[in-house]
Each structure stands twice: as C-alpha cells, then as structure tokens.
Amino acid sequence: MTYDQIAAEIAAASFVPLGSFNPGPDDRVPGAAGTLILIGNAGPLMWQRFTAERADAATTMDSWTETVLSELAEKLGGTVLFPFAKPPLPFLSWAQRARAGFVSPLGLNIHPDFGLWHAFRGALVLPEKLDLPAPSGAAHPCESCSDKPCLVTCPVGAFDGTGYDVDACAAHIATSEGADCLGQGCKARRACPVGTDYQYLPEQANFHMSAFLKARQNAH
C-alpha cells in the first residue's frame, strides 16, 4: 500500500496521521521498522467514535484505542506502539523527528495546524520503507508568540515555562474554584491562540480532566 492509501485508512478509522518518518538506528523504534506513522486525534471524530462504541464506564480510552489501532495495524500489515506503554516510548522525540510539532512552554507538543488540541494515540510501524510526503516546513508557533498567554492564565501558576506543578493543578481542579478547568479544560491550554478550531468539546475536556484528577487522587 502507498502512504496515501494508509493515511486514508487511518482517517476512515476516525484518527489522524500526524507525521511520519523512516526510522534509523538512533530513533529507538522497537523491531524491524521501515516506516513509522504517528496516529492521533485532532477534531471531534475520534471522540465521537469512542463515545458511540464505549461499552461502559469501565472501558478506558487507552483500552479502546489499543483495540481499535491494533486491529487497524493488523489490517495494514504492521504493528502499533502506544504512548501509554511501560516503560514509556519516546513519542515526543518521534514527533520532532517527523516534524509533527514542537515542544510548547507547557511541555505539550504543539502542532502548527492543530495547536495543543491533538494527542498521539499510537505509532504505526511498517516493515517496508514507504515514500513519504515532505514534512511540514512550518516554524515553531511559540517563537513568534510574544505574549505567551499560556504561561500567565493558569489560576494557580502551575506552568512557568520550565516545569509543571502537577500537584497544584490537581488540588485546584478538585475544588469548586477549579470547576471551570475541570469542566471546560485547562485554562492555560485554552489560552493558546493556535488551532482553536480544534479545541475539545466540553464533554471531551471534562472526560480528560476528570481522568487526570482521578489518577492523581489514586496515586496518593
């Protein structure tokens, strides 16, 4: 199959091909890898499919993603790696290798089109070396952003451009004062002017924030 045919299959599954490259020995891709395609979500389609197919509240997005992308990888003759694997895989390094984004002041990957409103859900690994589209030549959007509203919007100052105070964030959204962040999504993330057309719907934002809060509470 060609890259365009594989990209069409990914799109038909309600995901987005976010970047690709032909791995070398230094890329730390397990197994025999001729091509790696980063698969993620941007826009509402993956969320809509997940909510339609989710069996019950015990079905996590990670478990659903693993099932769907594993089936897709088998269909395409490859394997799939996941960002939630243990030990963690270098997805952010792969994103930079594929020129699929840049590291933002929040520490999140920022895509030149989708901004902060995308996520890597898996990496499709194919044994053959495909001819790939030229990577984006877009500049780092944060370098031309003089105001950097993402660093001054958080109600508890959880971001300073060098780190993320996870405990302060979690403590805030666990209170009534953090209801907006919990229900609508991270204020710092929403302050970014890039990719606002892809901002998560409130129910998706609440799903992710609630999962984050539950994970932090369980960790303690």
pLDDT 10s digits, 200-214: 999 999 999 999 999
Q: What local confidence, expressed as pLDDT, does residue 136 receive? A: 81
Q: Under 8 Å CB-to-CB from 51, ≥6 apart: which residues?
A: 203
Helix (H) or strand (E) holding 6: helix 3-12
**Structural domain boundaries of the chain?**
3-126, 145-219
Q: What local confidence, expressed as pLDDT, does residue 217 receive? A: 86
Mean pLDDT of the chain: 95
State how far the alpha carbon of 137 is from the alpha carbons of 19, 31, 102, in Å: 12, 29, 12
pLDDT 10s digits, 102-129: 999 999 999 999 999 999 999 999 999 9
Name which of 83, 75, 70, 79 is nearest 125 in CA terms.
79
pLDDT 10s digits, 158-208: 999 999 999 999 999 999 999 999 999 999 999 999 999 999 999 999 999
